[in-house]
């Protein structure tokens, strides 16, 4: 059974998710030897149970002729995303000591400066591509400044990010093109960040890279490999997620004009945090996460063999009608009703960068709404809106990420 939305469903996979929750909430995809899980409580259970659903990569079997393990697959070096306790607990503790909420909060004035600068560049034109002109450059500038690397290198980061998104294919084997691309990107990142880490080790600066080098928890410091892995993770989770959060928020507000009117009527813009949370639920920037089952794994009453892959569909869980009333409505006044969305995951792998993504999303929306009047889609005259969206909007070609590659806008 196919457990993936079709290319035609990428921009609006919610009917597909609803069908799967109703008829095949725990489905096996024979072609890819992977399970798909679609209901909220099942997804939450998997994400919270690292003893049966592992985040660690599965390494190829060791050959009889060699005592050395085969080369691990792309992005399989230990990292926050690719590890289980007790190692994950130690690693997260060290990184968190150099990535504190207080440090993130202090970035607010600088993030607002960058957002206003980006608007300054386009406001006289009366139009912009939100992704190209705001959603992409804002988080990558912040990440570059955080790490202490040249901001002028952000184009390199964007190229890596684009290739990472497009490499999220269904085929996870070592010989697949997506895996080969990931290995190449990892090598390029190592060559870029490696010398910077060496330099900061000898000459620390006031940046996150130096903080990570000096960070300590229970007498443990990060190795160079672990810092390299975090740099890759920060680009992946900290950049791509925020790009899609900003893009999806504006896309949803323009698609559902009554919600935009509610937001504009709130002159204090106090509803902006609600817009961010509803976007994380309604159009989750990360649609799915991957786990590998261990012996004795079971989802609801369905036993699953050890070593099989399992995809937890966050995007479907966040539209579960048994948890969220009227789930397919984008509603910025929505009450949590005692339940939280899983847009940033759940359990020990809850996104460490969530405060930064939320802050960047709030600031971007505030600047856009304050400075760009009569904001609307730009599309060819004579073409019609389909369910509130112009036909020139194209979704990302990714399984795990949800967003658009371009979002042309006009404003007064």
Measured between alpha carbons, how far is 73 from 81 in angstroms, rounded to an integer? 14
Contact of 20 with 5, CB cutoff 8 Å: no
Whether the upstream peptide bond of residue 326 has omega within 30° of 0, thus cis, is no
Q: Considering only CA atoms, which of 165, 332, 365 is closest in space to residue 261?
A: 332
Contact of 187 with 160, CB cutoff 8 Å: no
In a structure prediction context, what are the per-residue pLDDT tens digits for the chain, which is 412 residues long? 999 999 999 999 999 999 999 999 999 999 989 999 999 999 999 999 999 999 986 644 433 333 333 334 444 566 788 888 888 888 888 888 767 778 888 899 999 999 999 999 999 999 999 999 999 999 988 888 888 888 788 788 878 877 777 665 544 455 567 677 778 888 898 999 999 999 999 999 888 888 888 877 667 788 888 888 888 788 766 788 999 999 999 999 999 999 999 999 998 999 999 999 999 999 999 999 999 999 889 999 999 999 999 999 999 999 999 999 999 999 999 987 667 999 999 999 998 889 999 999 999 999 999 999 999 999 887 777 888 999 889 899 888 999 999 999 999 8
Domains of the chain: 7-410 (1.10.630.10)
Q: For residue 286, what is the DSSP state?
A: B
Residue 166: the pLDDT is: 67
Measured between alpha carbons, how far is 79 from 87 in angstroms, rounded to an integer? 9
Residue 370: the pLDDT is: 95
Q: What is the DSSP string of 382-408?
A: T---BTTB-TT--B-S-SSB--BS--E
Contact of 140 with 157, CB cutoff 8 Å: yes
Q: For residue 230, what is the DSSP state?
A: H
Angle among Cα 197, 202, 206 to the nearest 5 degrees reads 70
Q: What is the DSSP string of 329-383?
A: S--TT---TT----TT--GGGS-TTHHHHHHHHHHHHHHHHHH--S-EE---TT-
**CB environment 330-353: b (16+ within 10 A), e (fewer):** bbbebeeeebebbbbbbebbebbb
The helices-and-strands tally (H runs, E runs) of the chain is 16, 10
Tell me the CA distances in angstroms from 307 to 33, 223, 362, one per residue in order.
Answer: 10, 29, 40
Q: What is the DSSP string of 247-270?
A: HHHHHHHHHSHHHHHHHHH-TT-T
pLDDT in tens, 334-393: 987 667 999 999 999 998 889 999 999 999 999 999 999 999 999 887 777 888 999 889
Tell me the CA distances in angstroms from 326 to 57, 222, 323, 354, 367, one per residue in order.
Answer: 37, 45, 9, 26, 30
List beta partners, residue 220: 217
Q: In 167-300, which ranges are continuous DSSP H helix?
A: 177-202, 208-214, 224-233, 241-255, 257-265, 272-282
Angle between helices 224-233 and 177-202 (to 10 degrees): 120
44 CB-contact burial (10 Å; exposed 0-12 / middle 13-18 / buried 19+): buried
Tell me the CA distances in angstroms from 131 to 158, 161, 185, 243, 403, one per residue in order.
Answer: 11, 13, 22, 7, 10
List beta partners, residue 410: 127, 376
Residue 63: the pLDDT is: 34
379 CB-contact burial (10 Å; exposed 0-12 / middle 13-18 / buried 19+): middle
């Amino acid at each position: 059974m196919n457990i993936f939305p079709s290319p035609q469903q990428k921009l609006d996979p919610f009917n597909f998710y609803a069908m799967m929750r109703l008829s095949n909430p725990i489905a096996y995809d024979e072609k890819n030897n992977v399970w798909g899980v679609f209901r909220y409580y099942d997804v939450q259970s998997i994400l919270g149970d690292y003893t049966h659903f592992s985040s660690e990569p599965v390494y190829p079997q060791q050959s009889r002729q060699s005592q050395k393990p085969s080369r691990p697959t792309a992005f399989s070096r230990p990292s926050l995303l690719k590890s289980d306790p007790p190692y994950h607990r130690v690693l997260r503790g060290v990184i968190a000591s150099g990535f504190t909420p207080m440090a993130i909060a202090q970035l607010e004035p600088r993030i607002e400066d960058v957002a206003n600068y980006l608007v300054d560049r386009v406001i006289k034109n009366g139009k912009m591509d939100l992704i190209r002109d705001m959603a992409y450059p804002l988080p990558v500038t912040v990440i570059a400044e955080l790490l202490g690397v040249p901001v002028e290198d952000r184009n390199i980061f964007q190229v890596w990010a684009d290739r990472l998104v497009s490499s999220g294919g269904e085929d996870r084997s070592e010989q697949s093109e997506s895996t080969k691309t990931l290995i190449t990107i990892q090598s390029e990142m190592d060559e870029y960040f490696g010398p910077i880490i060496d330099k900061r080790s000898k000459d620390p600066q006031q940046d996150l890279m130096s903080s990570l080098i000096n960070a300590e928890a229970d007498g443990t410091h990060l190795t160079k490999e672990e810092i390299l892995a975090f740099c890759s993770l920060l680009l992946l989770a900290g950049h791509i997620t925020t790009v899609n959060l900003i893009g999806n928020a504006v896309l949803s507000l323009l698609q559902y004009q009554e919600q935009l009117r509610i937001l504009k009527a709130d002159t204090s813009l106090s509803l902006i945090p609600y817009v961010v949370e509803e976007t994380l639920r309604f159009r989750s920037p990360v649609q799915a996460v991957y786990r590998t089952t261990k012996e004795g794994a079971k989802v609801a009453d369905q036993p699953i063999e050890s070593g099989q892959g399992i995809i937890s569909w966050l995007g479907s869980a966040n539209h579960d009608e048994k948890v969220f009333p009227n789930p397919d409505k984008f509603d910025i006044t929505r009450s949590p009703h005692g339940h939280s969305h899983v847009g940033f995951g759940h359990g020990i792998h809850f996104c460490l960068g969530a405060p930064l993504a939320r802050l960047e999303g709030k600031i971007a929306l505030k600047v856009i709404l304050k400075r760009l009047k009569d904001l609307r889609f730009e599309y060819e005259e004579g073409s019609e809106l389909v369910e509130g969206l112009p036909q020139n909007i194209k979704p990302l070609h990714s399984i795990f990420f949800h967003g658009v590659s371009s979002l042309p806008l006009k404003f007064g």
